[in-house]
Structure 1
Amino acid sequence: MPSTRIRLSDRSPDFSVAVEIEATADELLIDFLRATDWPPVDSAQERMALPGFLLIAEDDSHHAVGFAHVLELDGFIHLEQLAVRPANGRRGVGRMLVDAVLTEAAARGYSEITLRAYRNVPWNAPFYETCGFSRSEPHSAFHLRLLDVETRLELDKHGERIQMTAQLGPTGRRTAPETGPKLEP
């Protein structure tokens, strides 16, 4: 069975590969949601200009199979995007990336991390719930700006979008039982 490793990156070529992976992974989402007018993927330059970090998942041949892009703004940390090449899906790569994000966020001193997801897409909110995230409400100016961006992009017309939060301990693992409601089908 091939192994996967996760590495932190600040290399320009990795941001370009992330764009390609996201575009390919978005095709699955577009098909699932039957979306006919999906917004374009952010460019490598746009992603690189944002404060935060990029994690790359690589296979044994050092071929990028997935990534996680995390924002650090206004004292918050937010999992902006996670994508895995469809050919590498259902092999634990996404979960490995989430675990690495949680560990890195904790190492940077954060006590919680947020993300936004489609509530009823199996590899969105239901998946993140199994990774220790629970539904939360956007209250800060930072999180309300994220909601505004999603509204401008009209993402909510394809399904309910929710914010989720995971509480972090020193190693990235959750420190308390879930406090938010379970997601319903």
Structure 2
Amino acid sequence: MRIRQATRDDFDILRSIELASFETLRATGAVSGEPEASSDAELQHYLDHALLYATCDQDDIPVGYAGAYITEGCLHIGEMDVHPDFQRKGLGRRLMETLLAEGRLRKLAEATLTTDRLAPFNAPFYASLGFRPLEKEECSPRLRAILDSEAEKGLDPLRRIGMVLPF
């Protein structure tokens, strides 16, 4: 499997990966309700920052993706999903390592993200990459605003957490 920059032509398949991954999260109680996927505008935002990567099968069809953007001198990872048929093969780790390497190359101060604190493949996975969990009061105003927005979208605020990895 190779990792490449995703393109606008990949948007539909990236969303299908995200929707399939939603069901993995649902099984852990991390999400409920109707599945949602990133909009064209959100995916384009990652693309505009040249921080939208896909991991692809032998036919160059994406099976996972990660997207980030730069804000306040930081790399913020907005989304990372691997299709359930390809999970637990190290693809998510490789995608994250690609984004983190790009953040370091661009001499950014740190990487941030928000995630579910209880699902075993979320916060613990990011911690294995060096991310440190932050309680809401430790989060920057930007991360607090993201957590608040997630709660407004129906994600359980008691399960959500910000994380940071200084470069």
TM-score between both structures, scaled by the size of structure 2: 0.87
**Distance (whole Å) between structure 1 residues aligned to residue 67 and residue 124 of structure 2:** 20
Structure 2 stretches lacking a partner, 5+ long: none
**Distance (whole Å) between structure 2 residues aligned to residue 150 and residue 30 of structure 1:** 16
**Distance (whole Å) between structure 2 residues aligned to residue 110 and residue 75 of structure 1:** 5
**Distance (whole Å) between structure 2 residues aligned to residue 43 and residue 17 of structure 1:** 12
Partner of 1:85: 83
Moved more, 67-76 or 91-100: 67-76
More helix by share: 2
Find the residue that maps to 1:162 and give its secondary structure: strand
**Distance (whole Å) between structure 2 residues aligned to residue 147 and residue 78 of structure 1:** 13
1:161 pairs with 2:151:
no
**Distance (whole Å) between structure 2 residues aligned to residue 12 and residue 34 of structure 1:** 29
Match runs of 1:109-124 below 5 Å: 109-124=107-122
Match runs of 1:21-32 below 5 Å: 21-32=17-28
Partner of 1:138: 139
Deviation at 1:68, TM superposition (A): 0.2
1:76 pairs with 2:74:
yes
1:96 pairs with 2:99:
no
**Distance (whole Å) between structure 1 residues aligned to residue 127 and residue 30 of structure 2:** 24
Partner of 1:17: 13
Partner of 2:5: 8
Find the residue that maps to 2:60 and give its secondary structure: coil
Partner of 1:147: 147
Deviation at 1:22, TM superposition (A): 0.3
Find the residue that maps to 2:156 and give its secondary structure: helix
Match runs of 1:165-180 below 5 Å: 165-168=164-167
**Distance (whole Å) between structure 2 residues aligned to residue 122 and residue 29 of structure 1:** 10
Q: Is the 8 A contact 1:39 1:153 kept in 2?
A: no
Let me know the Cα RMSD of the aligned residues.
1.9
**Distance (whole Å) between structure 1 residues aligned to residue 52 and residue 73 of structure 2:** 18
Q: What amino acid is the match of 1:153?
A: K
Deviation at 1:54, TM superposition (A): 0.5
Deviation at 1:46, TM superposition (A): 3.6
Q: Is the 8 A contact 1:30 1:38 kept in 2?
A: no
Q: 1:75/1:167 Cα in 2 relative to 1: closer, same or farther (>3 Å)?
A: closer
